[in-house]
Amino acid sequence: MRELKIVTPDLVTFTLRPAGAATRFMAWLLDQMILLLVRILTILAVVGSGFHGVILIVIVITALELPYYAFFEWRWAGQTPGKRRFGLRVATTNGARLAMTDVLLRNLVRAADNLPAFMLVGGLFAFFDPLGRRLGDFAAGTIVIAERAGTAGLPPVDRARPNSYNADAACRRRILARATHEDRDLANDLMWRRDDLDDEMRIELFRRLAAVFTKRFSLPDAPGLSDEQKVLNVALILDDRNDG
């Protein structure tokens, strides 16, 4: 199974590693066990409640998968309990953040994947596609990837946090003296579109830019300061210069 390479507008290349079939199966199996448990608990809870209880049972049994997968993949940025347990995540093939429309589309097609007439087709697509995509992934432009260690979750960034670089007069002077217009534009562009990036790509872009800024401006050590916060602090100083 080959890897998927993505080139950002900043000409940074990222590689997404598709999840293996065995790991995807284990994640799917765990999700199915959770769904089965919910169905059993629902049946036990409404036994003897009459017609309305029967209707609820039918709905839960037949229509639970779509809201289950859609809810968790949207709320947990491409992960279900099963995917989270085995280090998998749904991502877009262009590196953008997973949108609700992507989640809904891939899970609506899941219903077709699960039909007996389509299971063979969906399985063949996943088996022969180099990226292991099923029909829902083709429809939504997504891929299930194996996460790299250390990229689960974004570091905090706080615009209200005191800017330690600005408080350090010598550091501020170095930034203002050495920064170019390209530095300011790149920092601002990354800050504005960071929420549109996949988590892994977002972390890597800020890591690289923070490393460049640290070397160029001789930024002081600041324990607890994330790469994203470093870039934001520099961007705020450069914005102040531009406003003045």
Q: At residue 91, what are phi and psi to the nearest 5 degrees?
A: -135, 160
Could you read off the pLDDT of 65-122 as tens digits, one per residue?
888 999 999 888 788 999 999 989 898 887 667 788 999 999 888 766 665 554 556 6
Q: Which residues in the chain show pLDDT less than 50?
A: 10-11, 118, 149-157, 243-244
pLDDT at 205: 85
Burial class (CB in 10 A: 0-12, 13-18, 19+), 27: buried
- The predicted-structure confidence for 33-46, as pLDDT tens digits, reads as follows 999 998 888 888 77
The Cα–Cα gap between 125 and 77 comes to 24
158 burial via Cβ count (<10 Å: 0-12, 13-18, 19+): exposed
Identify the pLDDT of residue 184: 81
Query: What pLDDT does 240 receive?
Result: 67
Distance from C-alpha of 161 to C-alpha of 215, rounded to nearest angstrom: 23
> Percent of the chain beyond pLDDT 90?
20
Residue 223 CA to chain centroid, in angstroms?
A: 26
Helices and strands in the chain, H and E counts: 12, 4
Question: What is the pLDDT at residue 14?
Answer: 60
Report the 10 Å Cβ neighbour count for 161.
12
Residue 174: per-residue pLDDT: 94
Residue 152: predicted pLDDT: 43
Ranges of beta strands (E only) in 9-137 are 13-16, 88-92
CA nearest to 91, candidates 202, 240, 205: 202
Residue 27 has a pLDDT of: 93
Helix axes 51-63, 65-75, angle to 10 degrees: 60
